[in-house]
Chains A and B, each alone.
Chain A
Amino acid sequence: MRERGSLSAAKGALLARQHVVGAERAHPDAPAEDLGSMVGTCLHFSLFTNSPTVIVMVGLPARGKTYISKKLARYLNWIGVNTAVFNLGQYRREAVQTYKNYEFFRPDNEEAMKIRRNCASNALTDIGAYFTKEQGQVAVFDATNTTRERRGLILSFAKEKGYKVFFVESVCDDPDIIEQNIMQVKLSSPDYENCDKEEALEDFLKRIECYKMTYVPLDEEKDRHLSYIKIFNVGSRYLVNRVQDHIQSRIVYYLMNIHVTPRSIYLSRHGESDLNLLGRIGGDSGLSTRGQMYASALAAFVQSQSIRDLKVWTSHMKRTIQTAEALGVPYEQWKALNEIDAGMCEEMTYEEIQGHHPEEFALRDQDKYRYRYPKGESYEDMVHRLEPVIMELERQENVLVICHQAVMRCLLAYFLDKSADELPYLRCPLHTVLKLTPVAYGCKVESIFLNVQAVNTHREKPPNVDINRKTEDALQTVPEHV
């Protein structure tokens, strides 16, 4: 019922230790006692509100509530705010095993009303448990919540427990959009498994009518003490009331930047570089011959796709710029797209890192997401620096991003909702374009290898991550190189 795990206490402890150890390495002459207090308060920025927040979706069926819930949760989790979605429809499906027809949703159906109210209570209880036992920070309560009474219930629950509440209402009267919604996500719902399209559509429209009778939208006057954003017609207008804190401000900013216009995002790495061939990480080398071939192949590919108004983005590093040059179209350079800074390990091979910094090498394998290279960055740091890129990707339509392995992993994790544990091991091979197309509640991925050979730069997590491991164990998964 509840989707997505969150940071466990054990990992939290590792995080704390990591920062202490990282600091120690960087400053060998630092007295240990100074570092003790750094552990407790290390935050990237004050996203972490002290009280958990309940985001309450409001709106008639087929207004994009679940779409927004999932997208918002994906975004918040990616930036490090533990978020989970609680979809009332799923609770209802568990309670009422088989869905007959729209009659269940009639406002005069006493029996059904009781079941639905029960489901809501269960969901709220689960939300409470998520906050207290699973270190959740934000819970998205995805349901119609169309009556003042139901919203009142949620507000009292939150007030009692000390949670903040932020409403997100989606209002839409464009029949085309509504029909589009229904076609995309409702017809394939478990509720309509055994119906044909017309039956399903008709039943769903009657379902919407049931809600319309009792729908009370958030009111500018009566609800002026509540914190909310009202989204009109998929974002052409917004009404924002009483934003309380940073996280709500970020949520509003995010919601105001997303859209549903069909488009595709193409992610690719630069062509194979000279340092890639040598098995060295980081640096700022140029393309190898094969890399240049890839750049030409990429140009041909982009041409063949006939993409409307394609924007091309690269980093500030030579290898991405050289790759983009071959496309012969205008491109923009983002410093934020630069590869992860490996600090003291820049331009080293894995063998050299094992030779000079075996403990660092092991620590990295223990927690690749949070591990920060001495004088360098961690994947976690990168997520924060890539956030403006993600925000702009949301605003844009067709974009080709030519970036680097670690960067691409972070971006991919955002679009495919991968956890912090999976993120650093996502496969992003050279000379392969990933075409991401938003569809329904997620993203369709097409992987297109452009037929130019390249070295493999993917290093799997070795079985032995102990700091006392032998060199062969450490280097077990290092890919081949010159």
Chain B
Amino acid sequence: MCVCVCVFEDCPFRFENCKKQHGVDDNKKSSVILVAVVLCPQSCPLRRDREQVGVAAVLRTRICTSRPETTSVLRRDAAMRGSKRCRRDRPVCMTNCPTLIVMVGLPARGKTYISKKLTRYLNWIGVPTKEFNVGQYRRECLKIYKNFEFFRPDNEEGLKIRRQCALSALNDVRQYLCMEGGQVAVFDATNTTRERRDTITRFAEQNGFKVFFVESVCEDPDVIAENIVQVKLGSPDYIDCNTEEAVADFMKRIKCYENSYQPLDEGLDRELSYIKIMDVGRRYLVNRVLDHIQSRIVYYLMNIHITPRSIYLCRHGESDLNVRGRIGGDSGLTSRGKEYAKSLGHFIQEQNIKDLKVWTSQMKRTIQTAEALAVPYEQWKALNEIDAGVCEEMMYEEIQEHFPLEFALRDQDKYRYRYPKGESYEDLVQRLEPVIMELERQENVLVICHQAVMRCLLAYFLDKSAEELPYLKCPLHTVLKLTPVAYGCKVESIFLNVEAVNTHRDKPENVDISRPTEEALLTVPAHQ
């Protein structure tokens, strides 16, 4: 009996001697099931939401999309029982073939910036993605970086090591995509020669991966210099150098690559799928987009930019329902909430932000907050708070009283749990995707939204996992200023000095469906 809940022979998580590996006792049947669920990693595309019927926990597995016969069996059950807690599919994003994204370009062309950003985006929309930076493999191998001579094209020893590192990285890519449930791998290296790219293409063909190249071409010396200052000087390679030395060495490093650089060619490479990004997005050449995920990647890459700007995230001012400890609804601001709106107006004025755009949801409390700013604002339905379905406008105490099972299920998997006739955080992420895309296109924006919505947006910018997302702290009357810097985001938290209730409920210790009421309500914040 295998602990892995997945029934398919080729499930990457099914182990021959799983009992031994996971130290499971045959006699303790229930512990087997629990262990299995814990072991099936979140990222496994074969994992599914758990369903509990009555008191007996029935834990079932996600259907592998390549097995139609089992798909229909499980779906029939789901259909008969009611679809509100049915599994939801990523709309067509899951091709059965994993995709290998291959970065191409000289050093300091933004490859790692693009890799990390793309990885963050794909993970946020639910496509398990991981980046593999060959430079890191080289640092592990070499331990100490002396100087640019390592990269000279006539340095035989250096070439050998670099080739080994690339192969080692590709091996890990294979491991990730075949065994660990990854869907997309980003191979972050210069890959500047046709020979290297052919090696990668062959590797992908052998393993049944689709390949998509992302080439970054840039000749603007200012952009390159800015890159070097922002991310190269702080690299482990230059830890003991001063700025001038580091810059001089890095420029020589780039020179080593320049002579053998063979950019993707419209003629020779016309059978490949790729996007060539020229001059940080001024121009794009897109060739042979094969499927949905590549189309989404292209769309994303064409919408991001590196112009310095800041994104301000905040919630509406304190609302009447907040004060009474009730979730959802569409109430107006309390007097403290109105005070906050005024403070927000002053704050914005002081910050002197160039061309600030203000966005709100279509709910009263955000609109009233924006009104106090006396600037034009846009309302997005997509920014509306999570729909709590049958639990709308209830207090947590009432939810515990009327729907104790639901309350416990939510605590067990707050990200995927969908309120009956409502939404889940996972649904929210889907509906917020166009907002994120537009945020990427824009420059300075202030988004006045809601707790769950703000958590989703924050998770995108700060690369938080699905587990952390629903518990991110987004208190009322606090503005978070996000400024993209190097490969990530700088966060400044500014409390605008107007008191408000706390609406943050931590995950309680006991999430069992048969827990006593006090334990369920342990972490509920105080209210009227």
Report A's interface with B, CB cutoff 8 A: 23, 26-27, 30, 34, 37-38, 41-46, 220, 224, 236-243, 246, 249, 252-253, 256-257, 284, 286, 316-318, 321-322, 325, 328-336, 381, 384, 388-389, 392, 395
- In the complex, which residues 71-89 of chain B have their Cβ closer than 8 Å to any Cβ of chain A? 71-72, 75-76, 78-80, 82-84, 86-89
The answer to whether A316 and B88 touch (CB under 8 A), given A237-B266, A238-B284, is yes
B345 CB to nearest chain A CB (Å): 14
- Docked pose: A336 CA to B282 CA in angstroms: 34
Q: How far is the CA of A246 from the CA of B435 in the complex (A)?
A: 12
Contact present for A325 and B72 (CB under 8 Å): yes
**What residues of chain B lie closer than 8 Å to A335, measured between beta carbons?**
88, 427, 430
Cβ contact within 8 Å between B286 and A246: no
Listed by A's residue number, 20 A-B pairs whose Cβ atoms lie within 8 Å are A26-B330, A41-B378, A42-B362, A43-B379, A45-B380, A45-B382, A45-B438, A236-B288, A237-B270, A239-B284, A239-B286, A240-B285, A242-B283, A246-B438, A249-B302, A317-B83, A328-B72, A330-B65, A330-B72, A335-B427
Contact B86 A333 (CB under 8 A): yes
Size of the B side of the interface (Cβ < 8 Å), in residues, is: 56
A321 to chain B, nearest CB (A): 4
Determine whether B289 belongs to the interface, using a CB cutoff of 8 Å to chain A.
Answer: yes
Q: How far is the CA of A334 from the CA of B380 in the complex (A)?
A: 22
For the complex with contacts A44-B381, A239-B285, A239-B286, 8 further pairs of A-B residues with Cβ separation under 8 Å are: A37-B371, A45-B435, A243-B302, A325-B79, A330-B68, A332-B89, A333-B86, A389-B91
Q: Determine whether B243 belongs to the interface, using a CB cutoff of 8 Å to chain A.
A: no
Q: How far is the CA of A328 from the CA of B72 in the complex (A)?
A: 7
Which residues does chain A contribute within 8 Å of B83, judged by CB atoms? 284, 316-318, 321
Please tell me which one of the listed residues A26, A34, A252 contacts residue B368 in the complex, with CB atoms under 8 A apart. A34
Residues 88-105 of chain B: 1 if any A CB is under 8 Å from the residue's CB, otherwise 0?
110110000000000000
Measured CB to CB, the closest approach of chain B to A391, in angstroms, equals 8
Question: Which chain B residues in 368-383 approach chain A with CB under 8 Å?
Answer: 368, 371, 376-382
Please give the distance in Å from B214's CB to the nearest CB on chain A.
Answer: 14
Which residue in B302, B364, B380 is a CB contact (below 8 Å) of A252?
B302
Task: Say yes or no: A321-B79 contact (C-beta < 8 A), given A241-B283, A246-B441.
Answer: yes
For A36, the closest partner residue in chain B by CB is B371
Of the 9-residue stretches B7-15, B24-32, B148-156, B292-300, which lies at the interface with chain A? B292-300
Distance of A316 Cα from B79 Cα, bound (Å) = 9
Which residues on the A side are within 8 Å of B282 (C-beta)? 224, 241-242
**Is B380 in contact with A30, judged by CB distance below 8 angstroms?**
no
- A237, A239, A336: the one contacting B288 at CB < 8 Å is A237
From A42, A316, A330, A389, B86 is in contact (CB under 8 Å) with: A316
Rounded to whole angstroms, the CA-CA distance of A165 and B364 in the bound complex is 38
Residue of B whose beta carbon sits closest to that of A249: B303
Evaluate whether A384 and B381 lie within 8 angstroms (CB atoms) in the complex, with A321-B78, A333-B89, A334-B91 already known: yes
In the complex, chain B residues 417-434 whose Cβ is within 8 Å of any chain A Cβ: 427, 430, 434
B→A interface (CB under 8 Å): 65, 68, 71-72, 75-76, 78-80, 82-84, 86-89, 91-92, 266, 270, 282-289, 292, 295, 298-299, 302-303, 330-332, 357, 362, 364, 367-368, 371, 376-382, 427, 430, 434-435, 438, 441
Question: What are the residues of chain B within 8 A of A316 when measuring CB–CB?
Answer: 83, 86, 88
Is B381 a contact of A381 with CB atoms below 8 Å?
yes
Q: How far is the CA of A240 from the CA of B289 in the complex (A)?
A: 14
Q: If the complex has contacts A45-B434, A321-B75, A392-B292, are A238 and B378 also in contact, measured as CB distance less than 8 A?
A: no
Point out the residues of chain A lying under 8 angstroms from B368, CB to CB: 34
Q: Which residue of B lies closest to A43 (CB)?
A: B378
Residue pair B292, A395 in contact (C-beta under 8 Å): yes
Contacts of A240 in B (CB 8 A): 283-286, 302
Bound-state CA distance A284–B286 (Å) is 43
How far does the Cβ of A440 sit from chain B's closest Cβ, in whole Å? 26
A328→B292 CA distance, assembly (Å): 25
Q: Provide the residues of chain A in CB contact with B382, threshold 8 Å.
A: 45
Q: Is the CB of A325 within 8 A of B75?
A: yes
- Of B303, B330, B362, the residue contacting A27 (CB under 8 A) is B330
With a cutoff of 8 Å between Cβ atoms, the chain B residues found around residue A381 in the complex are 381
CA distance in complex: A388, B296 (Å)? 11
**How far, in whole Å, are A315 and B91 apart by their CA atoms in the complex?**
11
**Chain B residue nearest in CB terms to A333:** B89
Establish whether residues A34 and B364, one from each chain, have CB atoms under 8 Å apart when the complex forms.
yes
7 closest pairs, A vs B, by CB? A330-B68, A321-B79, A240-B284, A238-B286, A241-B283, A237-B287, A253-B299
- With a cutoff of 8 Å between Cβ atoms, the chain A residues found around residue B283 in the complex are 220, 224, 239-242
Q: A44-B380, A237-B266, A239-B284 are contacts. A392–B92 as well, Cβ < 8 Å?
A: yes
Closest to A380 in B: B381
Q: Within 8 Å CB of A246, what residues of B?
A: 438, 441
Chain B residues with CB under 8 Å of A334's CB are: 89, 91
- Chain B residue nearest to A34 in the complex (CB): B368
Residues of A within 8 A of B71 (CB): 330
Q: Which of chain A's residues has its CB closest to B86's CB?
A: A316
Inside 8 A of A392's CB, which chain B residues have their CB?
Answer: 91-92, 292
B288 neighbours in A (Cβ, 8 Å): 236-237
Question: A239-B283, A256-B289 given as contacts; is B379 within 8 A of A38 (CB)?
Answer: yes
Chain A neighbourhood of B357, CB < 8 A: 46
Q: Complex Cα distance A329/B380, Å?
A: 38
CA distance A452 to B377 in the complex (A): 52
Would you call A23 and B364 a contact (CB within 8 A)? Answer: yes
Complex Cα spacing A256 to B288, Å: 10
In the bound complex, CA of A256 to CA of B300 (Å)? 13
Is the Cβ of B88 less than 8 Å from the Cβ of A333? yes
Q: Are B379 and A41 in contact (CB under 8 A)?
A: yes
A234 to chain B, nearest CB (A): 12
Measured CB to CB, the closest approach of chain B to A432, in angstroms, equals 22
Q: Are A284 and B82 in contact (CB under 8 A)?
A: yes
The CA of A378 and the CA of B50, in the complex, are separated in Å by 33
A236 and B91 CA atoms in complex are apart in Å by 24
Q: Which residue of B lies closest to A284 (CB)?
A: B83
Residue B286 contacts which of A237, A286, A325 (CB distance < 8 angstroms)?
A237
CA distance A230 to B42 in the complex (A): 42
Q: Which residue from chain B places its CB closest to the CB of A317 in the assembled complex?
A: B83
